[in-house]
Amino acid sequence: MSSTRRSAARFRRDNGAVSVCRRHWLPQGQHRYPGRMSDLRLEELSAKTAAAANSLTLKPGQEQFVQPTTYGVAETDVKPSSAWTRVVLDDDEVLGLIIGSFDADNAQEELRSCIWRVNVAASAQGRGVGRFAVHGLADEARSRGFERLTVVYEPGGDDSPEAFFRAVGFEVVRETQYGDHFAVLTL
């Protein structure tokens, strides 16, 4: 197996859900995620999963990074119809939430094909849940013809999402006018 091979998790679509197979190949130097993970799947946010998604508990200090200033200011520029909201499930347990947006005509580059929010329960962090969610959103972006996925986040501190986004493959290309990092994942 090549040492440069990225995650070889295979996605499959079943009735609108996205699942990943159990077997993952990781780049050299990385290890399997701790703990036993069943098949994860992405499902559209529904009445059945909304309460659990809204009550996800983050690690202390992470709450301040949930919505960067750039996105707070831009909320009025986002069409509700462009939102892509999914929960990450392990069996019936909600472990995470990802909100993306797809609007090729948006005047703001940051909002055309982007991650709006990724929340992973504190108890599930470090187990591949966030990576799985981002891969699912990237797969959706590719299927819609986008060549990149973007994210804006507040830099700095141990609780910042910066290390996560860099580990998933995002590269910072500039700062926004509010000091947030604008990062890109080439698809």
Kindly state whether residue 37 falls inside one of the protein's structural domains. no
- The CATH number of the domain holding residue 160 is 3.40.630.30
Rounded CA-CA distance 163/171 in Å is 11
10 in a domain, yes or no? no
Domain count for the chain: 1
Task: Read off the tokens for 45.
Answer: 């946010």
Q: Can you tell me the mean pLDDT for 85-107?
A: 92
Residue 95 is predicted with a pLDDT of: 95
115 confidence band (pLDDT: 50, 70, 90): very high
Please report, as a single letter, which amino acid is at residue 157.
G
For residue 115, being part of any structural domain is answered with yes
Residue 104 is predicted with a pLDDT of: 94
Q: What's the domain range around 139?
A: 45-186
Instruction: Tell me, yes or no, whether 16 lies in a domain.
Output: no
Does the residue 31 lie in any domain? no
Please state the φ and ψ torsions of residue 180, each to the nearest 5 degrees: -75, 155
CB atoms within 10 A of CB 150: 22
Rg of the chain over CA atoms, in angstroms? 16
Q: State the Cα–Cα distance between residues 178 and 182, nearest whole angstrom.
A: 11
Judge whether 18 lies within some domain: no
Q: Is residue 11 part of a domain?
A: no
User: What digits encode the pLDDT tens for the residues 23-79?
Assistant: 343 333 333 334 445 589 999 989 898 888 888 877 666 555 554 444 444 455 556
pLDDT digits (tens, 9 = 90+) for 135-171: 999 999 999 999 999 998 888 777 788 999 999 999 9
- Examine residue 12 and state whether it is found in any structural domain, yes or no: no
Q: Give the separation between CA 52 and CA 147, rounded to whole angstroms.
A: 32
| pTM to 2 decimal places | 0.71
